[in-house]
Structure 1
Amino acid sequence: MLIEAQDISVAIGGRPVLDGESVRCKPGIMKALVGASGSGKTTLLHCLGLLLPVDKGSILIDGNDVTRYSTSARRRFWRDHTAFVLQDYGIMVEESVAFNVTMQASVIGRRVSGNKKRLNQSLEQTGLKGRENELAGHLSGGEKQRLALSRAIYKDANILFVDEPTASLDATNRRMVIELLADFAVRGRTVIVSTHDSEMIDACGAIHQVGSEARHIN
């Protein structure tokens, strides 16, 4: 799915964060949103994911203007098409690793449900296989980041929004996460990554400099 921001502006607490920002994120190419701290990388990512409204400009998905989507329409978009890997992880620490991946459980007994094969595959790909019954709250920061990625792999969404995915990872896990994200793009998904990690940036097929006149690379 093609995601576009057209001349968008956003102010938070009265302070301009984005001013006339435009970007196109095409399927099949991992796009890096880069810039100095405070440049608005995360804000732009949240706008593209319809998590944050824009003050001016438009957000388009496959050419359709979704800027003023209703709450129910945004929820359907998130449910049907997207996965998020954000800095706060979005992890439910009181639930098991498995539940955090599938987000499904039976009413009786609270047993985790969903596709067990896909669950095991997603945990194996992120190095968490065998830990599905542990409470997510017992995981380290880096492991929670990988758990959030496991959820995205399980969902196999059309669009993946990722914020600083390698920030708390060691070199081995960083390479693993970068390879997994690149694989999403190779399979025709739209992958948008806010990052300052040079290794992550080098793995992206296109770069957008947030808040710069020299906006597009590739």
Structure 2
Amino acid sequence: MTTIICRNLATGINGRIITGSVNLDITPGTMTALTGPSGCGKTTLLHTIGLLQTPAAGTLAVDGVDATAWNQRRRRRFWRDKAAFILQDYGIMDEETVGFNVSMQLNTLGLAVGGDRRRIRNALRSTGLDSRADEAASHLSGGEKQRLGIARAIYKNASVILADEPTASLDAGNRANIIRLLRERAAQGAAIVLATHDPVLVGASDRVYRIGAHSDE
């Protein structure tokens, strides 16, 4: 399991500070919502917590180790070993099958889906996509692609899941399903961080960090 600690963390783009003085404890078994109005910097903060962007100031520690200045190799190791991302652009290869998008591996001949087939089936079954394994991911709806992102996190057994607006534009049924899946991952020990303006998802989270308010609940 993984803990991420942010102290006086600042985020920025092209030298411009977006958020500052962020203090957060992201711990196993919890869902933390980063919320605020559009344009407040939710996604930038999420990307910084996930080491996709370098902090502008302050410190970010992963399991007690200062990761603020990690080089690309250390970051890639974190992404490979610990983290899974569910991003607004889905991060999904539309031309590949749903099954491939879970494991992101080909077999040794490069001709079929690689990885652990049983784990792929279980991940797809848990997200209601088991009948779609051999279809191209381009056939999936937006809500199904969000569930595919969660299936990938389940397959990977990621200890940190970072999701950007995972319930955006979903109907009530799909939103409830996404929230249930995320809560299940938290119950199994994952640390989940969400950038969201969805009040239902915020209400389902254990902790809420309101950007600009400099406080968490």
Q: Give the structure 1 partner of residue 208 of structure 2.
A: 207
Q: Does 2:81 correspond to 1:75?
A: no
Once structures 1 and 2 are overlaid, which stretch shifts more, 93-102 or 141-150? Answer: 141-150
CA distance in structure 2 between the aligned counterparts of 1:177 and 1:49, rounded to whole angstroms: 20
CA distance in structure 1 between the aligned counterparts of 2:54 and 2:65, rounded to whole angstroms: 16
Deviation string 1:159-215 (CA, Å, 9 cap, x unpaired) is: 1111111113221111111011011111111111111111111111111111213x1
In structure 2, list runs of 5 or more residues that go unmatched. none
Q: Shift of residue 146 of structure 1?
A: 1.4
Q: List aligned pairs for 1:18-167, cutoff 5 A.
A: 18-108=19-109, 110-167=111-168
Identity of aligned residues (%): 46
Q: Shift of residue 138 of structure 1?
A: 2.0
TM-score by length of 1: 0.94
CA distance in structure 1 between the aligned counterparts of 2:3 and 2:103, rounded to whole angstroms: 26
Contact 2:163–2:194, Cα closer than 8 Å, also in 1: yes
Q: Give the structure 1 partner of residue 216 of structure 2.
A: 216
What is the DSSP-based 3-state SS (H/G/I as helix, E as strand, rest coil) of the residue aligned with 1:130? helix
Q: Aligned AA for 2:197? A: H
Alignment size in residue pairs: 216
CA distance in structure 2 between the aligned counterparts of 1:42 and 1:23, rounded to whole angstroms: 15
Q: Aligned AA for 2:187? A: V
Q: Give the structure 2 partner of residue 11 of structure 1.
A: 12
CA distance in structure 1 between the aligned counterparts of 2:56 and 2:203, rounded to whole angstroms: 32
Q: Aligned AA for 2:163? A: V
Contact 1:163–1:195, Cα closer than 8 Å, also in 2: yes
What is the DSSP-based 3-state SS (H/G/I as helix, E as strand, rest coil) of the residue aligned with 2:130? coil
Contact 1:40–1:211, Cα closer than 8 Å, also in 2: no
What is the DSSP-based 3-state SS (H/G/I as helix, E as strand, rest coil) of the residue aligned with 1:31? strand
CA distance in structure 2 between the aligned counterparts of 1:56 and 1:152, rounded to whole angstroms: 29
Contact 1:21–1:211, Cα closer than 8 Å, also in 2: no
Deviation string 1:15-65 (CA, Å, 9 cap, x unpaired) is: 321122221111111111111111111111111100011111111112210
CA distance in structure 1 between the aligned counterparts of 2:195 and 2:110, rounded to whole angstroms: 39
Deviation string 1:116-150 (CA, Å, 9 cap, x unpaired) is: 22211211222211111111122222221111111
CA distance in structure 1 between the aligned counterparts of 2:161 and 2:12, rounded to whole angstroms: 25
Structure 1 ranges of 4+ moved more than 2 A: 13-16
